[in-house]
Structure 1
Amino acid sequence: MTLDIRIETERLILRVPRIEDFERYAELLGDEEAARYIGGHLPRAAAWRRFLQMPGAWVVQGFAMFSVEEKGTGRWLGQTGPWKPDGWPGNEVGWSFHPDAWGRGYATEAATAAMDWAFDTLGWDAVIHCIDPANVPSQKLAQRLGSRNLGPGKLPPPYEDAATEIWGQSRDQWQARRGRSAA
Structure 2
Amino acid sequence: MRTLTSAPTLTTARLTLTGHAATDLEDCAAMWADPRVYTMIGGQPRSREDVWIRLLRAIGQWTLFGYGSWVARDAAGRLIGELGLMEARRAIEPPIDATPEVGWTLTGDAQGQGYASEALAAILAWTDARIPATTCIIDPANAPSIRLAERLGYRLRTQGTYRDAPILIFDRTARREDPAISAAQ
**Common fold, TM-score beyond 0.5?**
yes
Partner residue of 2:150? 143
Tell me, which stretches of 5 or more residues in structure 2 are unaligned? 181-185
Shift of 1:43: 2.3
Match of 2:86 among 83, 98, 101: 83
Q: Which has the larger radius of gyration?
A: 2
Match of 1:131 among 110, 135, 138: 138
Partner residue of 2:46? 42
Higher relative contact order (CA 8 A, sep 6+): 2
TM-score where L is the length of structure 2: 0.81
Number of equivalent positions: 170
Distance 1:33 1:3 in 2: 30
Tell me, which stretches of 5 or more residues in structure 1 are unaligned? none
Partner residue of 2:55? 51
Shift of 1:74: 1.7
Shift of 1:98: 0.8
CA RMSD for the aligned pairs?
2.2
Residues 1:137 and 1:4: Cα distance change in structure 2 (over 3 Å): closer
Alignment of 1:20-169 (within 5 A): 20-39=23-42, 40-70=44-74, 72-86=75-89, 89=96, 90-120=99-129, 122=130, 124-154=131-161, 159-169=162-172
Residues 1:182 and 1:110: Cα distance change in structure 2 (over 3 Å): farther
Q: Which runs of 4+ in 1 moved over 6 A?
A: none
Distance 2:105 2:145 in 1: 9
CA displacement, residues 3-24 of structure 1 (integer Å, 9 cap, x when unaligned) = 2611111111111111222222
Q: Contact 1:91–1:127 (CA<8 Å) still a contact in 2? A: yes
SS in 1 for 2:166: coil
Give, as a single letter, the amino acid of the residue that structure 2 aligns with 1:103: G
Query: What percentage of residue pairs aligned between the two structures are identical?
Result: 33
Q: Contact 1:153–1:164 (CA<8 Å) still a contact in 2? A: yes
CA displacement, residues 50-101 of structure 1 (integer Å, 9 cap, x when unaligned) = 222211222222221111111x212221111111223560322210011111
Give, as a single letter, the amino acid of the residue that structure 2 aligns with 1:141: L
Partner residue of 1:19? 22
TM-score where L is the length of structure 1: 0.82
CA displacement, residues 106-137 of structure 1 (integer Å, 9 cap, x when unaligned) = 000001111111111x3x22121111111112
